[in-house]
């Protein structure tokens, strides 16, 4: 992306999570562990699903996509955040800031669409099991995956282009540990009211609409399961409740940040930590690793590794 000539700001200064160096070192150790767990957990999920043919189903196809997105999503922000814990001056160049915003919105919006698709997949599997494999065919799943990635790309390109076209001549202080559209546009040397409205109508409404669709979908599923008492139905009920919890955490951040004017609040950093670090860590635990089929696949994978090492 080319920075326009009228942009006088060459870098932005991030406030970070703390100004106390001892606290920053403790946070560095804590979030390094979280980031490693995110990488290991999600990579293990993708590898296990790829290796076990029993998991080559629509649900696990979308779960592997979720793991890939979580790795990419956290990697947009966390390496820079970890590096900033070790330095006093937390700066980010203009081009790096724009790139961070682009990829952040690409992966976040794609994940929102993916969570919506996953809710539809669970609805089809639980409420219409006889026709599930016909409805969620391989071709249809690939089309849904392509559509959600294209949707995320269009959303991200639109917001990033609008932000990039604004003139920036100071100040350059961002009150957070990463660049985001609402935080950057308020630093522009021009009236940004129209752009703020576009951000709310784009990111905010996407989050709200998808959240409503997800809640309605899971409500229908839970109501349909209420009259069944079999062990399988209880497992499905538990799974849907866990899914809804993660959805609420993820989309709650988007609604909180993007469905209001571009201004900093004390709670923004806490909410952003959940968005960039906690949710990508919870997704593999709630969606996959606690799943019985996934546990069996991991057990088989460990057995293969032992057999290979014994030979």
Domains parsed from the chain with CATH numbers: 11-298 (1.20.1070.10)
pLDDT at position 5 is 46
8 Å CB contact between 156 and 106: yes
pLDDT at position 171 is 85
pLDDT at position 82 is 95
User: In 3D, which of 174, 172, 17, 1 has the Cα closest to residue 83?
Assistant: 17
pTM: 0.87
pLDDT at position 289 is 65
When computed from its CA atoms, the radius of gyration of the chain, rounded to whole angstroms, is 21
pLDDT at position 9 is 82
pLDDT at position 227 is 61
* Alpha carbon distance 121, 127 (integer Å): 10
Which residues are registered as beta bridge partners of 91?
13
Question: What residues contact 71, with CB distance under 8 A and at least 6 apart?
Answer: 38, 39, 42, 43, 280
Please name the helix (run of DSSP H) or strand (run of DSSP E) that holds residue 258, with its range, or none: helix 231-258
- From first to last of the 311 residues of the chain, give the pLDDT tens digit: 444 444 478 899 998 888 898 999 999 999 999 999 999 999 988 998 998 888 888 988 998 999 999 999 999 999 999 999 999 889 999 999 999 999 999 999 999 899 889 888 888 888 888 888 888 999 999 999 999 999 999 999 999 998 888 889 878 999 889 998 888 988 888 888 888 888 877 777 788 888 888 888 878 877 777 665 555 566 666 667 667 777 777 777 777 777 766 566 667 788 888 888 888 888 777 766 667 778 788 888 777 766 666 55
pLDDT at position 7 is 46
* Alpha carbon distance 136, 220 (integer Å): 19
Query: DSSP assignment of 232-247, as one string?
Result: HHHHHHHHHHHHHHHH
Other C-beta atoms closer than 10 Å to the C-beta of 153 total: 15
Which residues are registered as beta bridge partners of 13?
91, 173
Task: Read off the tokens for 245.
Answer: 């919890």
| Unique residue bearing structure tokens 């330095």 | 87
């Amino acid at each position: 992306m080319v920075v326009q000539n009228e942009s006088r700001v060459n870098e932005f200064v991030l406030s970070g999570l703390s100004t106390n160096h001892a606290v920053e070192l403790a946070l560095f150790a804590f979030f390094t562990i979280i980031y490693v767990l995110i990488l290991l957990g999600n990579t293990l999920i993708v590898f296990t699903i790829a290796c076990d043919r029993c998991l080559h189903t629509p649900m696990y196809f979308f779960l592997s996509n979720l793991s890939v997105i979580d790795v990419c999503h956290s990697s947009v922000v966390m390496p820079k955040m970890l590096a900033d814990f070790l330095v006093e001056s937390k700066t980010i160049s203009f081009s790096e800031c724009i790139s961070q915003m682009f990829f952040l919105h690409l992966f976040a919006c794609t994940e929102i669409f993916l969570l919506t698709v996953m809710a539809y997949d669970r609805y089809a599997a639980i409420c219409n099991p006889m026709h599930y494999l016909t409805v969620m065919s391989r071709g249809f799943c690939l089309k849904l995956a392509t559509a959600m990635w294209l949707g995320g790309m269009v959303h991200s390109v639109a917001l990033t282009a609008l932000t990039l076209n604004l003139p920036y001549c100071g100040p350059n202080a961002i009150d957070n540990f990463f660049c985001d559209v609402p935080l950057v546009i308020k630093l522009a040397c021009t009236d940004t009211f129209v752009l703020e409205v576009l951000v709310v109508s784009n990111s905010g409404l996407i989050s709200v609409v998808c959240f409503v669709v997800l809640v309605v979908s899971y409500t229908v599923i839970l109501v349909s399961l209420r009259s069944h008492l079999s062990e399988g139905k209880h497992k499905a009920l538990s799974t849907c409740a866990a899914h809804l919890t993660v959805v609420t955490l993820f989309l709650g951040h988007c609604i909180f940040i993007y469905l209001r004017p571009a201004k900093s609040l004390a709670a923004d950093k806490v909410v952003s930590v959940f968005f960039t670090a906690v949710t990508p860590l919870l997704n593999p635990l709630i969606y996959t690793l606690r799943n019985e089929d996934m546990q069996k696949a991991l057990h088989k994978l460990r057995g293969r590794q032992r057999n290979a090492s014994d030979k």
